[in-house]
Structure 1
Amino acid sequence: MSALYTVAEIRQIEVAALAALPASTLMQRAGQACANSVLELTAHDPDGTILILAGPGNNGGDALQAAYYLAQSDLAVSVALYADETRYSTDALHALQCARASGALFLDINDPRHLGTGRWSLVVDGLFGIGLQRPISGTLRSAIEYIDSLQVPILAIDVPSGLDADTGTVVGGSAGIAVHADHTLTFIGDKTGLHTCDGVDYCGSISVDTLAIDSTHFPPPHAWLSQPSLFSASLRPRRGNSHKGSNGDVLVLGGAPGMGGAVMLAARSAAYGGAGRVLAGFLEQAPAYDPVHPELMLRLAADLNFGNATLVVGTGLGTSRQAHDLLSRALHASGPLVLDADALNLIAAEPGLQHVLLNARSRAVMITPHPLEAARLLALDVGQIQHDRPQAARQLAQRFGVVAVLKGAGSVIAYPDGDIIINTSGNPALASGGTGDVLAGLCGALLAQGWPLRDAAPAAVWLHGKAADQLVASGSGPIGLTASELAPAIRTLINKINRDNGHRTAFTRSPPQIMARHSVSDFRSVDTDTA
């Protein structure tokens, strides 16, 4: 699993490693790693010049060390030094001396045209690392604006300058600026902010170099990147001796007048996600049947027996008194629970419902808010939620004793114990109406099939996003991709993962007595995974 670390944790690791290594070792390793990345990225353009922007801290020292190694490799290297060298650390000053002796060309930053004098094949951003606290301004801001305007790749060292490595926000918000990198080479360990909020747009492709630091210096992580290995143990093949009851019941509750489509999207998603039976409960009159998926059962919500079914509540629910009473009844039921949309708005508005939710801790409960719904639940504004999405997700999980999925770019899955997972799949195609309803239905389907809550949440979010990625790759989007297209793609993806894991259902397994009637050669062309 790919662990994520906070800036404070990275600092602790670095201090421990420095105490056990000779001087300049880590900076030399960082510079060499950066130089290696540059060589790989510019292999197609060996005659261009590498532009290196070196800032005032150790991030600048790493860049200068890279300049030294690149010049030693006979590459044309130009360095723009934005630092008072008298304030450099001993390691950074040594890197500067090496770079100056290497043949790298140092530009005169006092010349307004200093960055416009070369044919750059790649720019290395070594201005600021993980310690930046204030918005970038003045000459440095102008330098970032210039390199962002170039049509050449940018490699950011450790973190794109101007980006908060913990939160993924641009330092200073709307008053700040950050480098739009095409590639980010981050050191020691991966950082949460590279994968959520603005980090999704500013980091490009991300690679990690641990700088060969001994693993004993790393603390136990409390954050990870989402990937199938996190939940693959729960994705099991269907038993031959099974029936619809073996795969659980999902009840989707909502469908206020004018919002019935949300219920249908969630219900269809639950069916495509593998639930054995799916019932859609409407606040008022239910349609006779779903002409697209007549296997769904449509009912008046008040008439449903919740039993031990998995409940998905809130899609198109509205905030009427009738909606409130249905939600209260669902909160008192005994089965797993997924709360979305208006269910969350009702809970945010009424302490009594919050109290009932807190008393439901013994159940598997998942909430799936978008930032505005999260803000209502935490009595904050959206800006505060987005300013630190990992922390907001943790607060939701801990305050309500649930697994919280804070949706958005780099969705954050948080657990009551403080652990988080940041999702890596998905794209702007999901920024359209109804995709959240599809996610809620999928969450319900996995819980109904017996998935542990800790696996179901990251699995549903990853599958939801990955299905969108594959649709876009096939030409369906991102512009104009509709929520209805997601559920079939999710089904295809689930079954493909099962096949790739070597799982075969009873349907694809040939009975031994039939196989015994033929020679081996008769079956050489049969693909049992797809038969």
Structure 2
Amino acid sequence: MRAATAAEMREIDRIAINDYGIPGVVLMENAGVSVVRMLESKWELLAERKFCILAGKGNNGGDGYVIARHLSNQGAKVKVFLLGEKAAVSGDAQINLDIIDKMGIDTIEISNERDWDKVRVAVTFSDCLIDALLGTGFRGEVSGDMARLIDIINAAGKPVVAVDIPSGVGADTGRVCSKAVQASYTVTFGLPKPGLFLYPGAEYTGELTVADIGIPTAVIAGQDIKQNIIMADAVRAVIPRRSPAAHKGMSGRVLVVAGSRGLSGAAAMAAEGALRAGAGLVTLAAPGSLQDVLAMKLTEVMTKPLAEIEAGSINREAVADIIRLSAGNDVLAIGPGVGREEETAAAVRETITTAECPIVIDADALNALAGNTKLLNECAALPVLTPHPGEMARLTGLSTESVNADRIAIARQAAAEWGSIVVVKGASTVVAFPDGEVYINTTGNAGMATGGTGDVLTGIIAGLIAQGLSSHDAAVAGVYIHGLAGDVAAQAGRIGMVATDLLKAVPAAMYGISSY
């Protein structure tokens, strides 16, 4: 499913109105009706229920006036509060404001303290609040009377329906600069907006409905929209299918280069992640001194010793063995727990630019590339990078806050510059490709905020590549499966969940997707 930015949605509206001759007031009518239909699905009978509609001066407010008319026609008791003057309302919104005025629907301009008292009373005695204040064009910070009204909405303790997007949430980024409406439900129009899925905006969205408001499908199909929401159907289409006559050699071979003294767990989880994702054979190459402990941790994974420095991480001499081993495998995953010593980092950089097979790069291997990202363009195959926001900050020279503020733009730019697939992990993981295409994940939960879950993802993506998926499909499917495994594991409780719980849940997650 594609997701449109605010600018893209404006262009879609423009084409529908100017090229297809659909009046804007018709689109506004359909938008308002779609919200009323959602309300009907929740409450069935709307008669006698009390609704308070908080409207702005723009088209979002116009949608609110349509909602007010249809609710009133169904016998609901409706009050509309306009943040601003009626004289400032224009265009299609003015048409609908004039209609509800003629219908006698109580519409109050908020202009003095007495009006604010009326707002508080109406909100207190309403069954539901409708947020029609700010639309997808909002940017910047909420302040003044708008902030005051949002505070009243959020403090009311009533169900809140947001029209198109919760007021205060950035449509493109999910950014909330100061405050935003905490919606129980959001009805968005035409296409979803990225900010409804990206945090913190996703936290304000509530239950999301995407409503068809009559825009011709050809208009939407004709737009080069590069934001996508990862859905189960898309993952099901690429998930590996195994022949009844399959054997381990047919299910893919993964080489994992990981681990150092004190960080053997990261190596073990990445290797087991590849197995749990379905790889037939997994080899873990790690410093020789770790062989005994890894043999205790892992039963199904083969291990190979590598030359190491005194600190217990690989050295430059290990590169030749890694390259030799990688030639007999379908994919190389490198980085989890590998260590940050300079000789180790040099070995990692040499390995990445020398290996001929597809590579998944994570953790300390990413740190080795900080200041050296140009090397990624020397990889034989399109590499997959899996940084968390802190690692992404080190790679780009930005702050972690800057990365999180606009993850799509940062990931997209990095993917293009580095000639790589960039998976920025976290709540609503973002996957970006060099051509500008971006995917936003919808699975996962806060229980996954624990050490080792990223190592599991590295293994899952590598395991999928080994089974024949392109690096593109493996990255998209891998993050969805990883999050879904977290959701399966969370059924036993989110607090106290650990990364190995995800490992155990991966087969069930994949089975659930493929058998649905």
Above 0.5 in TM-score? Answer: yes
After TM superposition, the runs of 4+ consecutive aligned structure 1 residues lying more than 6 A away are none
Aligned-pair distance for 1:243? 2.4
Out of 225, 232, 240, the position equivalent to 1:228 is: 232
Identify the residue that residue 168 of structure 2 maps to in structure 1: 162
Q: Which amino acid aligns with 1:67?
A: A
* Aligned partner letter, 1:427: N
8 Å contact kept, 1:197–1:408: no
Report the secondary structure of 1:146's partner residue.
helix
Whole-Å separation in 2 of the counterparts to 1:136 and 1:233: 42
Tell me the number of residue pairs that the alignment of Structure 1 and Structure 2 aligns: 489
Distance 1:79 1:264 in 2: 60
Q: Which runs of 5+ in 2 are unaligned?
A: 307-317
Say whether residues 1:480 and 2:496 are aligned partners.
yes
After TM superposition, give the deviation of residue 254 of structure 1 in Å: 2.0
**Mapping 1:9-408, distance limit 5 Å:** 9-19=8-18, 20-22=21-23, 24-43=25-44, 47-107=48-108, 109=110, 110=112, 111=114, 112-118=116-122, 119-170=125-176, 173=177, 176-218=178-220, 219-288=223-292, 289-291=294-296, 293-301=298-306, 302=318, 303-304=321-322, 305-309=325-329, 310-331=331-352, 332-349=354-371, 351=372, 354-360=373-379, 362-408=380-426
- Percentage of matched positions with identical amino acids: 34
Q: Which residue of 2 aligns with 1:513?
A: none
Mapped partners of 1:467, 1:165: distance in 2: 29
Deviation at 1:284, TM superposition (A): 4.9
**TM-score, normalised with respect to structure 1:** 0.88
**In 2, Cα distance between the equivalents of 1:39 and 1:97?**
25
Q: Distance in 1 between matches of 2:512 and 2:180?
A: 39
The 2-side partners of 1:265 and 1:209 are apart by 42
1:283 touches 1:323 (CA, 8 Å); kept in 2? no
1:216 aligned counterpart, secondary structure: helix
**Aligned-partner Cα distance in 1 for 2:265–2:138:** 46
Distance 1:259 1:277 in 2: 22
Q: 1:122-173, CA deviations, whole angstroms, 9 ceiling, x for partnerless residues?
A: 1110000011123121222111111112222111001110111011101xx2
Q: Is the 8 A contact 1:108 1:114 kept in 2?
A: no
**Residue 41 of structure 1, CA deviation:** 2.8
Aligned counterpart, 1:414: 432
Deviations 1:295-354 (A, max 9, x none): 2123323355221421111111121134223313421111110001111111013x3xx3
Give the direction of change, closer, same or farther, for the CA distance of 1:78–1:32 in structure 2 (3 Å limit): same
**Which segment is superposed worse, 209-218 or 58-67?**
209-218
Q: Secondary structure at the match of 1:312?
A: strand
Distance 2:44 2:105 in 1: 19
CA contact (8 A) 1:338 1:367 kept: yes
What's 2:309 paired with? none
Contact 1:317/1:342, CA 8 A, preserved across alignment: yes
Query: C-alpha offsets along residues 512-531 of structure 1, whole Å, 9 cap, x if unaligned?
Result: xxxxxxxxxxxxxxxxxxxx
Most deviating of 109-118 and 420-429: 109-118
Distance 1:414 1:25, change over 3 A: same
Matched residue, 1:450: 468
CA–CA separation in structure 2 for the residues paired with 1:308 and 1:404: 26
When structure 1 is superposed on structure 2, of 8-17 and 233-242 the one drifting more is 233-242
Q: Bigger CA drift: 188-197 or 159-168?
A: 188-197
Bigger drift between 285-294 and 189-198 goes to 285-294
In 1: Cα distance, 2:53 partner to 2:41 partner: 16
Retained in 2: the 8 A contact 1:35–1:67?
A: no
Structure 1 residue 63 displacement after superposition: 0.6
Q: 1:395, CA displacement in angstroms?
A: 1.2
Q: For the residues of structure 2 that align with 1:441 and 1:68, how far apart are their CA atoms?
A: 55
Q: Secondary structure at the match of 2:118?
A: coil
Report the Cα offset of residue 79 of structure 1: 1.2
Query: Is contact 1:374–1:406 with CA below 8 Å preserved after alignment?
Result: yes
**Deviations 1:173-217, CA, capped at 9 Å, x for gaps:** 2xx211111111111221111111212211112111231111222
State the distance in 2 between where 1:466 and 1:181 align.
Answer: 25
Cα deviations by residue, 1:98-120 (Å, 9 ceiling, x for unpaired): 22233433346332322332422
Report SS of the residue matched to 2:435.
Answer: coil
CA pair 363-48 structure 1, distance change in 2 beyond 3 A: same
User: Relative to 1, partners in 2 of residues 1:237 and 1:23: Cα closer, same or farther, differing over 3 Å?
Assistant: closer
Q: 2-side partners of 1:499 and 1:67: how far apart?
A: 44
Letter in 2 for 1:340: D
Q: Which has the higher helix share?
A: 2
C-alpha distance 431-46 of structure 1, shift in aligned 2 (>3 A): farther
**CA distance 1:136–1:277, change in 2 (3 Å):** same
Query: 1:234 Cα deviation (Å)?
Result: 2.7
2:481·2:506 contact (CA, 8 Å) conserved in 1? yes
Distance change >3 Å, CA 498–CA 208, structure 1 → 2? closer
Normalized against structure 2, the TM-score is what? 0.91
Counterpart-to-counterpart distance in 2, 1:411 and 1:355: 24
The structural deviation recorded for 1:464 is 0.7
Indicate if the aligned counterparts of 2:85 and 2:109 stay in contact, CA closer than 8 A: no
The whole-number CA distance in structure 2 between the counterparts of 1:495 and 1:87 is 56
